[in-house]
Structures are given as C-alpha cells and as structure tokens.
C-alpha cells in the first residue's frame, strides 16, 4: 500500500517534470526540469527494490551528465528558443507520433494487465550491489569490457571534436609569429 | 500490495512518448539531446521493472550499460554541439543544412 502511494506520487512528479522539460523554451529551465525527472525516476527505482541503480541514476544522470549539459548551456550563453513558423509538417508528424505511442502504451498496459500475473518474490535480493557486481564480472564480463572501450572512444572523440586547431596548423601559426618577431627585431636593429 | 508491472510499463511508455514528441518539436540541439536522455531513462525503467518482476539481475546490468552509453553520448554529443556553435554561432538544428543546400 505504502509503495503504491510512493509510486503514484513519484510517477506524477516524473511525468510533470518531463512535460515541463519539453514545454520550456529556455534550455536552462528544461535542464533543471530534467534533473527533477531523473530524481523522481531514482525514487521509483527504490520502490522497485533497486538501490544500486537508484544511486547510479543520481550520480551519473542527475550529477555528471546534467552538470555537463548545464555547463554547455552556460558556455554557449543561449537565450530562449525563438518561435519559428518553418517546418510545419514536423508538428503534424509529432502529433501523429504522440497518438501512436500513446495508443501503444495503452495497448501494452491492457495486454500486461490481462496476462497471467507473475507474483514478484519479495525476498529476492536482485537489486543489491553484491548480485550486480557478481553478474557484471562473471557472466557479463564481455559487455563490461566493450562498454569500457566505448567510453575510451568517447573520451578521445570528445577531445578531438572540441580541439580548436590541429597540430600542423598550430605549428604554422607559431612559425609565423616567430618570423614576425624576428622581422620586428631586424627592423628595430 | 505494490504497484503492478503494467503500471510501471505505462509510466515508461508515457515518458517515452513525451521524449519522442519533444525531439520532434524542439529545434534546439541541446533540447533535443535532453529529450533523448529522457527516452533512454524510460527504457531503463522497463529494464528495472522486468528485472524486479522476473527476479533476474540481467535487466539491471543492462541499465548500467545504457547509462554508460548515455555518458558517452553526452561527451560526444555536446562536443559536436560546441563544434557546430563555433562554426555557425547557433545551436538551432535548422541551421545545420550544409548537406541539403
């Protein structure tokens, strides 16, 4: 009973925060609403007896990723998104998508409600850090390694993407500056 | 009594719908990025819900993988947004039309 109340409370919060994320035109308001949605989802993970995932959700999503996003918003100094009348067909497409996905959600809900119910085992300790760590480093070692390589690629890719000049250009600029300095000295002498 | 599996799946479907509609409606690259994060979170919720109701840890492990992919996506995606802003002084995706023109 108590967990049902918590579920509906945090589900309402998550949906409200998600709608607010899409509604606001100022990207900073969107980002802060999204942090609210992530925190509400973290609480819902706790009602699902998954404390490790809830902690990682707060650390990685609400912490690391959203700090990065807010930092980029501040760095680019963005104003409110201007209203544009272009690309009208996208609005029709978005509304069609919304109707389709909502219908699908209702279909899944009714199908799962009608399906024979598997009573969840309350004594399970699936969400504990111990069982997750054991699964991660025995049965699912290869995916963990692949994720490690993926993160390395992302780090290298991000550094290369945001680098201002590549190395030969930088050397060229330095040489030009040195030449200018020598010319100035020569003129002075 | 605790909420049924169906209600978790319904919540996940609603969040995914909001995220998908946000991606089509927003013209700001960072706004679209945040809506994609919302969709990833909706999928994570189904993983954890099924993991809970079938008593299997695999779903939670894959949530971990999805979070790693989201972190990688944040690094590379925001790098692309900054590189694009440097060239066009805008983050509006309508301005990213070099291949079309």
Of the pLDDT bands very low, low, confident and very high (cuts 50, 70, 90), residue A117 is low
Q: Work out the minimum CA distance from B83 to partner chain A, whole angstroms.
A: 6
* pLDDT attached to residue B84: 86
Q: Which has the closest alpha carbon to A54: A67, A45, A64, A63?
A: A45
Of the pLDDT bands very low, low, confident and very high (cuts 50, 70, 90), residue A37 is very high
pLDDT digit string, tens, across residues B14-30:
999 999 999 998 888 99
Mean pLDDT to the nearest integer, A151-157: 92
Best probe of the A interface among B5, B8, B16, B18, by most A CBs < 10 A, is B18
Tokens 């440097």 belong to B86
Tokens 């993991």 belong to B51
Check CB contact under 8 Å for A48 and B48. Answer: yes
pLDDT digit string, tens, across residues A130-142:
888 888 889 899 9
> No. of H helices and E strands in chain A?
8, 0
Instruction: Write the ipTM.
Output: 0.92
Indicate the pTM of the whole model.
0.85
Q: Work out the minimum CA distance from A80 to partner chain B, whole angstroms.
A: 10
b/e burial code for range A82-96 (CB count within 10 A of at least 16 → b): eeeeeeeeeeeebee
Of the pLDDT bands very low, low, confident and very high (cuts 50, 70, 90), residue A115 is confident
Best probe of the A interface among B78, B82, B89, B97, by most A CBs < 10 A, is B78
């Amino acid at each position: 009973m108590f967990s049902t109340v918590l579920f509906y409370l945090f589900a309402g919060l998550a949906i409200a925060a998600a709608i607010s994320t899409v509604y606001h035109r100022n990207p900073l308001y969107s980002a802060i609403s999204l942090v609210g949605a992530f925190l509400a989802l973290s609480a819902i993970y706790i009602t699902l007896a998954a404390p490790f995932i809830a902690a990682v959700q707060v650390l990685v999503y609400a912490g690391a990723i959203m700090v990065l996003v807010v930092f980029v918003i501040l760095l680019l100094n963005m104003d409110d998104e201007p209203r544009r009348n272009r690309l009208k067909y996208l609005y029709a497409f978005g509304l069609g998508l919304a109707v389709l996905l909502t219908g699908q959600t209702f279909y899944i809900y009714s199908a799962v409600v009608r399906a024979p119910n598997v009573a969840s085992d309350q004594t399970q300790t699936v969400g504990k850090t111990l069982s997750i760590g054991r699964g991660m480093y025995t049965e699912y070692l290869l995916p963990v390694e692949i994720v490690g390589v993926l993160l390395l690629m992302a780090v290298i890719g991000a550094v290369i993407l945001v680098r201002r000049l590549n190395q030969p250009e930088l050397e060229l600029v330095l040489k030009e500056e040195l030449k200018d300095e020598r010319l100035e000295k020569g003129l002075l002498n | 009594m605790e909420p049924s599996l169906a209600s978790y799946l319904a919540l996940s479907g609603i969040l995914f719908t909001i995220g998908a509609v946000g991606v089509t409606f927003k013209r700001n690259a960072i706004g679209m990025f945040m809506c994609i994060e919302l969709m990833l979170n909706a999928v994570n919720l189904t993983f954890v819900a099924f993991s809970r109701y079938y008593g299997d840890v695999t779903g939670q492990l894959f949530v971990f993988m999805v979070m790693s992919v989201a972190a990688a996506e944040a690094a590379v995606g925001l790098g692309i947004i900054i590189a694009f802003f440097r060239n066009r002084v805008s983050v509006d995706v309508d301005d990213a039309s070099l291949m079309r023109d």
